[in-house]
Amino acid sequence: MMSRKERHKRPITSRNRRQVRLLFLITGCALGVLLLVWSGYGAHVVDWVLGTDGGGRILHHKGTDATQSKGSDSSLDRNTVNGSAEDNIQVEQWLQTLTLDEKIGQMFLVHLSALTAEKPNQALSNILHELAPGGVILFKDDIKTVGQTIEDNVQMLRSSRIPLWIGVDQEGGVVNRILFAGDWNGNMAIAATGQPQLAKETAFETGSLMQLLSFNLNFAPVADVNDDPYNPVIGLRSFGSEPKQVSAYVRAYVQGAHKSGMPAIVKHFPGHGSTRTDSHVGLPQLTYDLKRFEQVEWLPFKAAIEEGVDMIMSAHIQVPQLEPKTTSSQKDGSLITIPATLSSRVLTDILRDQLHFQGAIITDALNMKAIADHFGSDEAAVMSIQAGADVLLMPPKPHQAIAAIHKAIEMGTLTEQRIDESVRRILHLKLKYKVTNAKQASQLNVEQAIGKAQSFIASNQAQGLMKRIAEQAVTRWGTESIANQPSMLITSSMNQVLLVGHDSVSLEALQRALVAGVKERRDAANKEKEGPEAANGNKKRSVETEVQVSKLEDTGLSDAIRAADAVVIVTNDVYRQPRRIRLLEKLIAQLEQLKKPVAVVAVGLPYDAQALANIPIGYVIYGLTDSNVRAAARVLLGRAAALGQFPVAIAGLP
Just list the catalytic residues. 280, 364
- Provide the CB-side half-sphere exposure for 76 (13 A, CA): 19
Q: Are 593 and 625 in contact (CB under 8 A)?
A: no
Instruction: Report the greatest alpha carbon distance in the chain.
Output: 133
Cα–Cα distance for residue pair 603/469, rounded to 1 Å: 15
DSSP designation for 433: T
Q: Regarding beta strands 335-337 and 326-328, do their DSSP bridges make them parallel or antiparallel, or are they unpaired?
A: antiparallel
According to DSSP, the residues that pair with 497 across neighbouring strands are 547, 566
Q: Regarding beta strands 165-168 and 217-218, do their DSSP bridges make them parallel or antiparallel, or are they unpaired?
A: parallel
Cα–Cα distance for residue pair 545/519, rounded to 1 Å: 9
Of 403, 332, 389, the C-alpha closest to 361 is 389
Q: Regarding beta strands 475-477 and 618-620, do their DSSP bridges make them parallel or antiparallel, or are they unpaired?
A: antiparallel
Sheet containing 217-218: order of strands: 217-218, 165-168, 135-138, 108-111, 392-393
DSSP 255-276: HHHHHHT---EEEEET--TT-S
Q: The dihedral of CA 341, 346, 348, 353: what is its sign?
A: negative
Long-range contacts (CB closer than 8 Å, 24 or more residues apart) made by 400-408: 400/118, 401/108, 401/366, 401/377, 402/101, 402/104, 402/105, 402/108, 402/131, 403/378, 404/377, 404/378, 404/379, 405/104, 405/381, 406/100, 406/104, 408/382
Is 203 buried (19+), middle (13-18) or exposed (0-12) by CB count in 10 A? buried
Cα–Cα distance for residue pair 293/289, rounded to 1 Å: 7
Cα–Cα distance for residue pair 582/611, rounded to 1 Å: 10
SS3 category, 604: coil
Other CB atoms closer than 10 Å to residue 318's CB: what's the count?
Answer: 25
Of 580, 568, 583, the C-alpha closest to 616 is 568
Cα–Cα distance for residue pair 16/567, rounded to 1 Å: 103
Cα–Cα distance for residue pair 218/212, rounded to 1 Å: 13
Please name the residue ranges forming H helices in 83-221: 85-96, 100-106, 112-118, 124-131, 146-159, 187-192, 196-212
SS3 category, 441: helix
Spell out the residues 6+ positions from residue 248 whose beta carbon is closer than 8 angstroms to its own. 196, 303
Cα–Cα distance for residue pair 316/330, rounded to 1 Å: 16
Of 258, 252, 261, the C-alpha closest to 223 is 252
Cα–Cα distance for residue pair 214/167, rounded to 1 Å: 10
